[in-house]
A and B are shown apart, each in its own frame.
Chain A
């Protein structure tokens, strides 16, 4: 089923209804409705400043929406107190756009951080898991001793991916995973995302404006424009979508219904 309406998913892992978020007078999310099934890879596309990152941050609880509902495994998470969020966060992994590695810690400790600090795992055991995860993203044990500042952008993204999957989360979010990378490294990261998500058996929600990446990693694609989902459907249908917004975006045309805003969100 293609279009702006969310398809019926029997028991969605993530269910978002009527999500609204504003910054001052600027309404960034204006009633977003979308579901994501268990083990599904959902990619949300949209231009810069359309609220993709805000959408993910609302699900993660980093931003508080003004209205709407976010259900994870059927349980409402909007308005959950700080204490109740810890258990929920254990279900999540996140790869940030700029990697967001901790400068003060070596690479292996970055990867093991959630295990040591968040789950109280013994350091030696967490270190071994971190080295295994680094190997899974193609980085050797010697990289584990380096500082994040000693790594290239592509290596930082790999480390961030290793950190996102280290605790084997149920849901992994990817914020612009290929932005700033050369096409070859972007493809390497896409392959790693597919491989790691499959190995962990996680549900994946990615946001990107890189159509090559979206086509490769998505089971389903949704397009966000002016705070609303204007189209969603199987990844294979994106090129034949009968939607002027999608058509303009996937072909990268300046002319069309999408007008670029000068001010970012």
Chain B
């Protein structure tokens, strides 16, 4: 029994220590924004990399999500003659939940993994130490641009995903399920509130920060050559995905919880 309690206690303390290390890393990254030099070109490069190059994957997942959502809600709602709610369900689901969550998970897989691999390779080949010896703060040069780019870019991506997702629902609704295009658009617009979109964008900003933080953190602390970099990549994607789902629940509770 004592052994069991000891192992639970050790795991708890290890969790607290890991949380503390992560929080310290995030603070060091963000505090780099308070003092020059700043690297606007690097931030812009990361914005293009995270935002522009993620558009195809996020757009594709958004359109299919919207299409499936329209089909599923139609077949479900037709059981109690509520087919007219399809457009509303699609737009609310996409803007509040599916847009930010799916975009977040897609970006975690595409960008978070790449960040961890890039920074991890820099770590194991002494490039991060070289930055320091060249009077350049790695947090300011590597971490901050990625954190800011994640924070700023994912809301823009989600805004595009929202439009594409709703459009996917519209395509299925009008061409396959026989809804009148004008009434579908009216239904879409009439029940949508500003908070629905804003809450999704706030979630997106948090998810973008999480993806960048996990990519940078695991890459920065990778050890032991190619195997270590591979592990860092896996940890970055898995931890970002879990934290996205966890923070999604917390944010949903904060916005809409009763």
In-complex Cβ contact of A62 among B37, B121, B132, B134 (8 A): B132
- Are B130 and A117 interface neighbours, CB within 8 A? no
Could you mark each residue 111-126 of chain B with 1 if its beta carbon is under 8 Å from any beta carbon of chain A, else 0?
0000000000110011
The number of residues on chain B lying at the interface, defined by a beta carbon within 8 Å of a beta carbon of chain A, is 16
Segment among B94-102, B135-143, B196-204, B209-217 that sits at the interface with chain A:
B135-143
The residues of B that contact A89 with a CB separation of less than 8 Å are 132-135
Which chain A residues lie closer than 8 Å to B141 at the CB level? 117
The answer on a CB contact under 8 Å between B130 and A100 is: yes
Q: Is B180 an interface residue (CB 8 A)?
A: no
Closest to A86 in B: B135
A-B contacts, CB under 8 A, total: 57
* CB-based contact A82/B137 at 8 Å: yes
How far, in whole Å, are A57 and B130 apart by their CA atoms in the complex? 11
Q: Which A residues lie within 8 Å of B39 (CB)? A: 117
Asked if B84 is at the interface of the complex by the 8 Å CB criterion, the answer is: no
Q: How far is the CA of A117 from the CA of B140 in the complex (A)?
A: 11
- Whether the pair A97, B126 counts as a contact (CB closer than 8 A) is yes
Asked if A117 contacts B136 (CB within 8 A), the reply is: yes
Partner of B132 from A60, A93, A102 at Cβ < 8 Å: A60
In the complex, which of the residues A92, A93, A102, A118 contacts B127, with contact meaning CB atoms closer than 8 Å? A102
- Bound together, the chains give a CA A62 to CA B122 distance in angstroms of 15
- List residues of chain B with CB within 8 A of the CB of A120: 37
Q: Does B129 contact A (CB under 8 A)?
A: yes
Interface string of A88-103 (1 = CB under 8 A from B): 0110111011101111
Please tell me if the beta carbons of A100 and B127 are within 8 angstroms of each other in the complex. Answer: yes
When the two chains form their complex, are residues B126 and A119 in contact, meaning their CB atoms are under 8 A apart? no
Nearest Cβ in chain B — how far from A5, in angstroms? 30
Give, as a whole number of angstroms, the nearest-CB distance from B123 to chain A.
11
Say how far A220's CB is from chain B's closest CB, in angstroms. 23
A113 at the interface (CB under 8 A from B): yes
**How far, in whole Å, are A131 and B135 apart by their CA atoms in the complex?**
21
CB closest residue in chain A, given B45: A104
Residue of A nearest to B132 (CB): A62
Hey, which chain A residues are within 8 Å of B130, CB to CB? Answer: 94, 96, 100-102
Residues in A with CB closer than 8 Å to B125 are 98, 100
The residues of B that contact A163 with a CB separation of less than 8 Å are: 134
Cβ–Cβ contact A96 & B129, under 8 A: yes
Complex interface: chain B residues within 8 A of A167 (CB): 134
Q: Cα distance A94–B127 when bound, in Å?
A: 12
- How many angstroms between the C-alpha atoms of A110 and B141 in the bound complex? 14
**Is the C-beta of A234 less than 8 angstroms from some C-beta in chain B?**
no
Q: Does A39 touch B at the CB level, under 8 Å?
A: no
Q: Complex formed: what's the CA distance from A66 to B134 in Å?
A: 25
Distance between Cα atoms of A118 and B133 in the complex (Å): 9
CA distance A90 to B132 in the complex (A): 10
Contact A62 B135 (CB under 8 A): no
A118 to B130, CA, bound (A): 12
Residues of B within 8 Å of A103, CB to CB, are 121, 127
A100–B37 Cα distance when bound, in Å, is 23
Q: Which residues of A contact B133 (CB under 8 A)?
A: 60, 62, 89, 92-94
Q: In the assembly, what is the distance between CA of A101 and CA of B126, in Å?
A: 9
Assembly CA distance A163 to B136 (angstroms): 14
When the two chains form the complex, which single residue of B129, B132, B135, B137 contacts A119, counting CB atoms closer than 8 Å? B135
Which residues from A are CB-within-8-Å of B132? 60-62, 89
B-side contacts of A86, CB under 8 Å: 135, 137
A94 — which chain B residues lie within 8 A by C-beta? 129-130, 133
B139 shortest CB reach to chain A, Å:
9
**Interface 1/0 per residue, B8-47 and A, CB below 8 Å:** 0000000000000000000000000000010100000000
- For this complex, 21 residue pairs linking A to B, each with C-beta atoms less than 8 Å apart, are A60-B132, A60-B133, A62-B129, A82-B137, A86-B135, A86-B137, A89-B132, A89-B133, A90-B135, A94-B129, A94-B133, A96-B126, A97-B126, A98-B125, A100-B127, A100-B129, A101-B130, A102-B122, A102-B127, A119-B135, A163-B134
What 6 A-B pairs are tightest by C-beta distance, nearest first? A118-B135, A114-B134, A100-B126, A100-B130, A94-B133, A89-B135
